[in-house]
Structures are given as C-alpha cells and as structure tokens.
C-alpha cells in the first residue's frame, strides 16, 4: 500500500508524515497525536513495517476518538492480525 499523506479518521483529517521519528516527538516507529491530528511514521524502517505501523496508528486514533480504552497490547494484536489477513489475501497489494 502507498502511505497516504492524509487520512480521515472519525471525521478528523489526519496528516501522515513519514520522516525521522524524532522530528515530531516519536520515540519508536510511529506515533499518533489526536490533538494535532498528526500520524508520524519512521522513514528508517522497511515499507512493510511502515504499512503495519500506519495500521497501528489508525487503530490508536479510532481508540482515542471513540474512548474505547483498548490496551496497547490489544491494539498491537489487532494491528498484526489485520495486517497479516490483508497481506496474505492480497488486499493491500
């Protein structure tokens, strides 16, 4: 999948930035800031990890917007499971 420049999640337009993870306060491979509506994805990871990370940050945004109170472990499990299903069934490529 091509990493989009913007995503609409819960009616909010998020900017998606792929760059050095420390430029926007990201301390890992990705971050989501509901207050600024910015999702940051590291440019130092391979493309498949970028795709999976984007999926993770989308779930984080849905979680925050809807006050679902999903744990980080649950979000990570959803991310890896959904990514595997989408890839193995050629829904992303």
pLDDT one-digit tens code per residue, 49-80: 999 999 999 999 999 999 999 999 999 999 99
Q: What is the mean pLDDT of residues 14-40?
A: 84
Which pLDDT score, from 0 to 100, does residue 69 have?
A: 97
Domain positions in the chain = 6-88
| Gap between the Cα atoms of 83 and 75, Å rounded | 12
For residue 3, pLDDT beyond 90? yes
Whether domain 6-88 has CATH 3.30.2320: the reply is no
Which pLDDT score, from 0 to 100, does residue 24 have?
A: 56
For residue 46, pLDDT beyond 60? yes
Give this prediction's pTM.
Answer: 0.90
């Amino acid at each position: 999948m091509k990493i989009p420049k913007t995503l609409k999640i819960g009616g909010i337009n998020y900017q998606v930035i792929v760059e050095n993870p420390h430029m926007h306060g990201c301390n890992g491979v990705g971050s989501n800031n509901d207050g600024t509506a910015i999702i940051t994805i590291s440019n130092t990871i391979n493309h498949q990890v970028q795709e999976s990370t984007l999926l993770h940050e989308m779930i984080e945004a849905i979680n925050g917007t809807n006050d679902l109170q999903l744990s980080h472990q649950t979000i990570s499990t959803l991310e890896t499971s959904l990514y595997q299903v989408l890839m193995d069934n050629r829904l992303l490529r």
